[in-house]
Structures are given as structure tokens and as C-alpha cells.
Amino acid sequence: MTKAYAAESEHSGLAPHGIERRELRDDDVAIDILYCGVCHTDIHYVENDWGGTLYPVVPGHEIIGRVTSVGKDVKNYSEGDLVGVGCMVDSCRECSSCNQGLEQYCLNGMVPTYNGEDLHDKSITYGGYSEKIVVSDRFVVRVPEKLDAAKAAPLLCAGITTYSPLRHFGIKEGHKVGVIGMGGLGHMGVKFAKAMGAEVTIFTRSESKISEAKKQGADNVIISTDEKQMEEAAETFDFLLDTVPVQHDLNPYINCLKVDGTHILVGLLEPVDPALQAGQLVMKRRVLAGSLIGGIPETQEMLDFCAEHDIHCDVEMLDIKNINDAFKRMKKGDVKYRFVIDMDTLKQS
């Protein structure tokens, strides 16, 4: 049995639990987990906000650890390697998306790191709030030793979710990029866009966040609740990276895009309300796009980019026994910017 923290029901909160990790298959990598980031998605699954949670659920998809053993066909990893696992642990591996390294868009459905169903034995997948995990080598990435492993954990979700669209949509030097929302995703978006050479503006609702935004490296800050500031920003941005996960009015932001500008949604999964003004797209050939995490090759590229540019996530370390309090604080937005569980605290418990 492997020690883990699991929720038994939507009201139970997380508590110690024993889970089974599978025997190594030929392409498997066994990982001793060092750190696991705490993503807002974890809360949604624990509390069954989206329906479909399979209890007991062991959350966690921002996993960093060291390889303890590998299956006989594994060539790229060996014992002691520092590795990461993100939001996916498998996919069909043969559709057009998988063949392009876009496993997150697998046409047959990717297998999420937790609350998913293994394609081989139909067992339920358990995430990273756990001592160990066993994952097929295709879904393991190498973490450069140069990175601070704890601060690298959230790169596996918050990092790749922002890096991928910035790369895909071609952000580069000279672009004016706005980042909407300054949480776990937003603060990573700022770091990446800056490292790609863009001039970066943070849109925030509160004046109290201006100094923090500047500390994150933003060149400018716009208070999104200030109509005058928003009007002055009209038609000045090439890209907007919108990390806000709840319904919000997109129209004032889209008005900030230049001709051919692109508004990229990475957080919003709900109906757009207030209604999107189609004329704002048509009259300026603007684009509204979405993007979901990132593929495995791109996740590796992102980690290497972070090592090269000395980029990491701002984290608050967490003892796993305080995880339920951490969830409460996250709901209030009270974390800068990501909790990361030190898995030693589980092993010693």
C-alpha cells in the first residue's frame, strides 16, 4: 500500500488513505514523489463541483519526483532522475492529435492523472497527493536539475497552461501582451511573456495589487474596473492571455485588442456571460481562442525554457496535514501563488 491523501465524499475533506500503485509495466516509470502543487482543479474534484468525481479521489497533477525503477522497455529514464508528471498519464497515442504531440487534445480522450480510467486495466487513476506514482514513460518529463524542484512543481499545470498558448499563438519580441488575472496561472503568464520578449501588462481589479504586479515583472498595470483606463487601452494589445476561471465580461478586454489581435481563454469553461459582442470581432478581424494545458513534448520544452530563463513558480510550501486549510485559503485567493506540498510531510506522518 502507498500512503496518500484522499477525499471519501464531497464533504469529507482530504484525509490519509492507503492506495494501490500498479506493478511496473514494460514502459512504466515508478516515481518517488517529492513535491506536488495544489491546483484549483483539485478542489473542484474533491468537492465534486463538476459532477463525476469517483471517490476516493486522490488529487494532484503538478508532480515532481525521482525515478526509483523503470520497466524493461524504458530507455530515457533511470533510477535517480528528477522527473515530472502533469495533468495526463495516457492517451490513445495514435490519433492525429497524439501524433502531433498534442495528447491533451487526444481524439479518443486523454487519461487524466487522477479520476481517470486506466486504458489497460480500467483501474481509476490516483494523483500526486501521494508518496509514489507509476506512469508510462511517454507521459513523464525530465526536470532540469538546475530548477528548484519545489518551485517547479506547478509548472506541470499552471506553467504549461500559460506557456503553450503563448508559444502556439506566436508571442515574441515587440508584442504587447496583456495578462488578465494574477493568480497561479496569471503570474506564470507574465514571466513567460516577458521571457519571450513581450511588453507585458497585468489587468487587475484592485489598485492594491499594482506593486505586486510590478514585482512579478509586469511593465504596466491596468485597473480593469476603471473605465477610463480601459478606454485608453483600446486597440493597443496584440494578445490577451485570460486566466480568469469564472464568468466575466470579455467585451471590454476584446476592445483592447488591435486589428488581428487575439484573446486567449485558458481558464473559462462556462458560457460567455455577458454576451460576446460579435461586432467587436468582425470589425477588427479579432480572434477569440481557447487553449488547454499543453502536450508532452511542449511540456518538456517549457521546463527546459524555465531552466534557461531561470523561471519558476512563486510557491508557499505546505505540510500535507494542512491541505484542507489550504483549500479554504485558495477559495479566498489567499495564496501567492501556488501551494506546494512537501511530500516528506506525508512520508513522516
Which residues here bind a copy of itself, judged by CB under 8 A? Answer: 96-97, 102, 105, 107, 165, 168, 235, 259, 265-266, 268-292
Closer to a copy of itself by Cβ: residue 119 or 289: 289
Give the separation between CA 180 and CA 182, rounded to whole angstroms: 7
> Are 2 and 343 spatial neighbours (Cβ–Cβ below 8 Å)?
no
d(CA 233, CA 256): 5
How far is the C-alpha of 214 from the C-alpha of 211, rounded, in Å? 5
Q: What secondary structure does DSSP assign to 293-316, as a single string? A: S--HHHHHHHHHHHHHHT----EE
Q: Which three cell numbers stand for residue 213?
A: 504586479
Q: For a copy of itself, which is the closer residue by CB, 244 or 326?
A: 244
Total number of residues shown for the chain: 349
**Taking the C-alpha atoms of 270, 271, 274 and 276 in order, what is their torsion angle to the nearest 10 degrees?**
120
Buried-exposed string 273-310: b where 16+ CB fall within 10 A, e elsewhere = eeebeeebeeebebebeebbbbbbebbbbbbbbbbeee
Cβ atoms of 218 and 202 closer than 8 Å: yes
Nearest distance from C-beta of residue 116 to a copy of itself, angstroms: 15
Closest approach of Cβ 165 to a copy of itself, in Å?
A: 8
Residue 52: partners with Cβ closer than 8 Å, 6 or more residues away: 115
Among 329, 255, 328, which Cα is nearest to 288's?
255
- For residues 54 and 283, which CB has a smaller minimum distance to a copy of itself in the complex? 283
Least spacing, CB of residue 14 vs a copy of itself, in Å? 27
100 versus 211: smaller Cβ distance to a copy of itself: 100
CB of 209 to a copy of itself, least distance (A): 24
Task: Report the nearest approach of a copy of itself to the CB of residue 176 (Å).
Answer: 13
Least Å distance, CB 185 to a copy of itself, is: 12
Nearer to a copy of itself, 287 or 307 (CB): 287
Nearer to a copy of itself, 276 or 335 (CB): 276
Q: CB-wise, 54 or 269, nearer to a copy of itself?
A: 269
How far, in Å, CA of 98 to CA of 115, rounded?
Answer: 21
Instruction: Give 97's Cβ-side CA count (13 Å radius).
Output: 16
Question: Which residue, 288 or 323, has its beta carbon nearer to a copy of itself?
Answer: 288
Report the SS3 class of residue 83: strand
Cβ-based nearer residue to a copy of itself, 3 or 258:
258
The answer to whether 105 and 168 have CB atoms below 8 angstroms apart is no
The least CB distance from residue 164 to a copy of itself, in Å, is: 9
Q: Say which DSSP state 249 is in.
A: -
Least distance from a copy of itself to the Cβ atom of residue 275, Å = 4
From the CB of 41, what's the least distance to a copy of itself, in Å? 13
Contact 293, 161 (CB under 8 A): yes
